[in-house]
Amino acid sequence: MKTFKQDPWNASLYDGKHSFVSNFGEGLVSLLSPSPGEKILDLGCGTGDLANSLAKYDCEVIGIDNSPNMIALAQKKYPHIPFFVEDATALPYESRFTAVFSNAALHWIKSPKQALASIYSSLQQGGRFVAEFGGKGNVQIITDAIIEEFAEQGISFNWANFPWYFPSIAEYTQLMEEAGFRVVFAQHYDRPTSLDGENGLNNWIEMFGDSFFKGVSESKKEMLIRNVADKLHADVFKDGSWLIDYKRLRVIGIKE
């Protein structure tokens, strides 16, 4: 039986306050251009919204995520779709899918070579890998401010606690080719993203950046986040929302 680390994800909060993740992903569904009868793996499916979008194309869809909380909510919302808790670096599928689709998930996987090898093995010959995730420079205005605040407070920042992997096009497409893919599309683009409300930035850091604060007391964590928000407010908070510097990487690779 597989065992998974304690699940930090609040699936209901994710759906309620951060639904933009799935909403922006609809454009990636168009890039995938699914056909009826295809077998598609939604890798990092979260609470299942995009898997449900794919299923509407009469595809056979399986959704996986390493968060039991996310999978439990996905199963409740879309009981007609099979969802499983799986590790993207050790997928149990061999040449099963015509496509592997992944939105806003791969930047959480800090072992990209293992993930790409696992994805490649899961695809049928001629199958395609279509993904979007954070690219080089993604949310740098936030991450720089957090790390600077650590320094100002005299707290040593442990880089092992940096939550994400944000590669450049050159870095990631080379890894794709080393895994065996023929890269047919790669794009790095700006996608400014609004976080609504005065507490939007605080909520975002709490939801997605919690690992920055491993080993820091709850009171000190709250102080650090509050200071970061105060410092960024003048430049980033406009007309009732925070405009964040999302930079995304989109790729398509073919298994030949």
- The 3-state secondary structure of the chain reads CCCCCCCCCCHHHHHHHCCHHHHHHHHHHHHHCCCCCCEEEEECCCCCHHHHHHHCCCCEEEEEECCHHHHHHHHHHCCCCCEEECCCCCCCCCCCEEEEEEECCHHHCCCHHHHHHHHHHHEEEEEEEEEEEECCCCCHHHHHHHHHHHHHCCCCCCHHHCCCCCCCHHHHHHHHHHHCEEEEEEEEEECCEEEECCCHHHHHHHHHCHHHHCCCCHHHHHHHHHHHHHHHHHHHEECCEEEECCEEEEEEEEEC
pLDDT at 10: 57
pLDDT at 1: 33
pLDDT at 77: 95
pLDDT at 200: 93
pLDDT tens for the chain, 256 residues: list them.
Answer: 343 445 554 555 545 544 445 556 678 999 999 999 999 999 999 999 999 999 999 999 999 999 999 999 999 999 999 999 999 999 999 999 999 999 999 999 999 999 999 999 999 999 999 999 999 999 999 999 999 999 999 999 999 999 999 999 999 999 999 999 999 999 999 999 999 999 999 999 998 999 999 999 999 999 999 999 999 999 999 999 999 999 999 999 999 9
Q: What residue ranges define each of the domains in the chain, with the CATH number in brackets?
A: 11-255 (3.40.50.150)
pLDDT at 5: 47
